[in-house]
Amino acid sequence: MTGEQTAEPSYVDAIAARAAAAPGAPALVTAEGVLTYGELAARIDGLARLLVARGVGPEQVCAVALERGPHAVVAMAAVSRAGGAFLTLDVDAPPPRLRAMADSARTGFLLTTAALAEKLRLAVPGPTVLVDEEAGARSEGPWEPSARAALPRITASSLAYVSHTSGSTGTPNAVLIEHRGLTRYLRFMVRDYGLGPHTIALQLAPLGYDASVRDTFAPLVAGARLVLADRSVLLRAEGFAETVRRFGVDTVLSATPSLLTFLTRHETIAAELRGLRLTVSSGESLRPFLAADGHRALGGRLVNQYGPTECTMTSTRLHLPERPETSADLIGTPIDGVAVRLLDDDGPDPVADGEVGEIHIAGAGVARGYCGRPALTAERFLPDPAGPPGARMYRTGDLARRRPDGNLEYLGRGDRQIKIRGYRVDPAEIEGELLGHPAVTGAVVTAETDGQGRTYLVAHVSGALDGVTDAALRAHLARTLPFHLMPRRFARIARVPTTSTGKADRRALSSPAADRTP
């Protein structure tokens, strides 16, 4: 199917349709007030026409460097409505990194505010649009050039957004995602998770990461309310609870297991967590959280998602039963329009069910590739022998096996396997058992190498551990784990460090400075 044969409207069209049907319905909710769907659609349309008048069009990348809030939501959607592709930037990240991201994405335009433009000093070839000043101008009267600018039709094959691979070092790799993958994915989420006008969702993921695209636009495609709050507030247990309580939040679409572990250890916010109708986890192994019975603190449904940035955020999902399995890391089955192929190293050929293979992802969500990196694109994005002519699949580097019921069991990275005396070790299994100790509130297991080249395990633990000895922690683990899964050392830490996306920062814990063992 070509881009000119688009079978369904884009996500921006879905927002416009909701505005036409219910213009007074709440769309964006903040502490300062409410923006209705009618008002949201009008702002998107007005900014889109201004962007077209400034030269934005198909295949042109526009960096959105804005604080979380209505301006950022409008800017992202307006770029799409103008035919361009947005690149969201986390304005709290170091400016040199932001400049590297903008450069690697071949950014042509910048949407920001006057204050942030001065702070970040991002240079782009095309115009810089100061959305705070443009919003003020439009509130005083129509801006004639933008009013006359015609808006293009969004096609399935056009570039929708650019996102960078999480945890990249050096020059970040810019991933190119098309509208066909984005719109199908957002519509799938609405159907599969039962989102609708009744939903009150919380935007939780930081801007600058692809999870924020899901956080922001899946609720709006569903006609739901999207609650916007400062992320620093949401990362505090009481702040999170107050936001949920004040706005009646019932849905969280982008929570990492690390954040869920942190929240569920605070008994004072139990009522707010029980009030959630739907919680979606992604980004890390959910197994330690489940093994520690953290899911019992959540109300409603819990969904585990898996997928790389290169495949439009999510490729598989598992709706967790009331009593989930904790002996394996299950990631479920492929979402609509996605195929997961488990291939061996030789050939590669498909492996039999139950055998370990490398995950290759095919379907509509597969990215166009990496911007300006043809060799890397060719290495990771391979022809799909089981697909139609010209189809490609993404080689993830992750290992899995398919169970008889069709669910995939995730087995970790093929290039980061931990081997201890010949045994393959899954850190998530040890972390889950550690979190089952009543004094442990956080646990991350890493691998180190001693002076004789031998690999051993270090358990980094946080909590009220003043009276808990290493021997006591070993005794706790020995009840369920074999000897080869026993950490050699335990490092006490004040709290588990996390990346800006909310994942446990294992790299920081692996550094010598992270060792807090008395």
**What is the percent of the chain with per-residue pLDDT over 70, rounded to a whole number?**
90
Provide the number of structural domains found in the chain. 3
CA–CA distance, 56 with 87 (Å, rounded to integer): 14
DSSP character at residue 126: S
**Higher pLDDT, residue 504 or 340:** 340
For residue 352, tell me if it sits in a domain. Answer: yes
Domain-ending residue, one of 397, 413, 429 = 413
The candidate with the shortest Cα–Cα distance to 220, out of 47, 43, 48, 368, is 43
Strands laid side by side in the 85-88 sheet: 128-130, 109-112, 61-64, 85-88, 159-164, 174-178, 369-370
Q: In which band, very low, low, confident or very high, does the pLDDT at 481 lie, cut at 50, 70 and 90?
A: confident
Which pairs count as long-range contacts for 319-327, CB under 8 Å and 24+ apart, including other chains? 320/290, 320/295, 324/290, 324/295, 325/290, 326/287, 326/290, 326/291, 326/432
For residue 483, tell me if it sits in a domain. Answer: yes
First to last CA, the chain: 62
Q: How many CB atoms lie under 10 A from the CB of residue 140?
A: 7
Distance of CA 252 to the CA centre of its chain: 12
Please classify residue 93 by burial: count the beta carbons closer than 10 Å to its beta carbon, then call 0-12 exposed, 13-18 middle and 19+ buried: middle
Q: Taking 80 as the threshold, does the pLDDT of residue 423 lie above it?
A: no
CATH code of the domain covering residue 384: 2.30.38.10
Same domain, 53 and 174: yes
For residue 268, tell me if it sits in a domain. Answer: no
For residue 31, tell me if it sits in a domain. Answer: yes
Are 41 and 16 in contact, with CB atoms under 8 Å apart? yes
**For 465, how many CA atoms within 13 A lie in the half-sphere containing its CB?**
25
Pairing of strands 381-383, 392-402: antiparallel
Distance of CA 121 to the CA centre of its chain: 27
For residue 69, tell me if it sits in a domain. Answer: yes
Average pLDDT, the chain: 88
Same domain, 369 and 455: no
Does the predicted TM-score (pTM) go above 0.95?
no
CA–CA distance, 257 with 286 (Å, rounded to integer): 6
Q: How many CB atoms lie under 10 A from the CB of residue 459?
A: 25
For residue 59, tell me if it sits in a domain. Answer: yes
Please classify residue 258 by burial: count the beta carbons closer than 10 Å to its beta carbon, then call 0-12 exposed, 13-18 middle and 19+ buried: buried
Same domain, 150 and 242: yes
Phi and psi for 504 in degrees, rounded to 5? Answer: -60, 130
Q: Which residues contact 458 (CB under 8 A, 6 or more apart)?
A: 445, 446, 447, 448, 487, 488, 489, 490, 491
Strands of 373-514, DSSP E: 381-383, 392-402, 408-413, 418-420, 423-425, 440-449, 455-463, 489-492
Same domain, 371 and 409: yes
For residue 307, tell me if it sits in a domain. Answer: no
Give the pLDDT confidence score for residue 124 in this predicted structure: 93
Same domain, 370 and 433: no
Q: Taking 70 as the threshold, does the pLDDT of residue 466 lie above it?
A: yes
Same domain, 92 and 10: yes
Same domain, 18 and 71: yes
Q: In which band, very low, low, confident or very high, does the pLDDT at 165 lie, cut at 50, 70 and 90?
A: confident
Same domain, 19 and 72: yes
Q: Taking 70 as the threshold, does the pLDDT of residue 137 lie above it?
A: no
Return the amino acid letter for 29. Answer: V
Same domain, 49 and 167: yes
The candidate with the shortest Cα–Cα distance to 67, out of 21, 23, 120, is 120
Give the pLDDT confidence score for residue 485 in this predicted structure: 84
Same domain, 188 and 78: yes
CATH code of the domain covering residue 438: 3.30.300.30
Q: Which tokens belong to 82? A: 């103008």
Q: Which domain holds residue 454?
A: 418-514
Pairing of strands 369-370, 200-202: unpaired
Q: Taking 70 as the threshold, does the pLDDT of residue 341 lie above it?
A: yes
Domain-ending residue, one of 378, 413, 448 = 413
Pairing of strands 423-425, 159-164: unpaired
Q: Label residues 322-359 b or e (16+ Cβ within 10 Å = b).
A: eebebebbbbbbbbebbbbbbbeeeebebbeeeeebbb
Are 15 and 223 in contact, with CB atoms under 8 Å apart? no
Domain-ending residue, one of 385, 413, 441 = 413
Distance of CA 420 to the CA centre of its chain: 31
For residue 269, tell me if it sits in a domain. Answer: no
CA–CA distance, 291 with 326 (Å, rounded to integer): 5
**Higher pLDDT, residue 72 or 132:** 72
Q: In which band, very low, low, confident or very high, does the pLDDT at 347 lie, cut at 50, 70 and 90?
A: low
Same domain, 354 and 430: no
Same domain, 150 and 214: yes
Q: Taking 90 as the threshold, does the pLDDT of residue 148 lie above it?
A: no
Q: Is 299 left (phi over 0), alpha (psi -120 to 50) or beta?
A: beta
CATH code of the domain covering residue 16: 3.40.50.12780
